[in-house]
Structure 1
Amino acid sequence: MRSQEAEDGTAVEHWCLGHAEETGHKRFQAVVTTFLVVVPAAGRGTRHQT
């Protein structure tokens, strides 16, 4: 089973606790995706791979 996606881990933690109570499962896998935004410094060119 999977919890819903969330930006805040609190909702996922609540889902895990509820699922553990219902099923006895005690181990969960957490998958975290991080997004980065890169802004080049002024006066620097952008490098492109070809």
Structure 2
Amino acid sequence: MSNQLSLALNSRGAEVKDLQASLVKIGILSPGMSLKNKILASEPRMLC
């Protein structure tokens, strides 16, 4: 799953926004929260 997320984040911005909208609809993301922030919040070791 993390490979798919990395690909999504590296894709064009419009595609990421579409993905974020889909994730909000199914309840993974809160409205207004970006996918990148969600990943950083759930994977603090990625900051190292």
Range of TM-score over shorter length: 0.3 to 0.5
TM-score scaled by length of structure 1:
0.42
Report which of the two has the higher share of helix. Answer: 2
TM-score scaled by length of structure 2:
0.44
Tell which structure's C-alpha radius of gyration is larger: 1
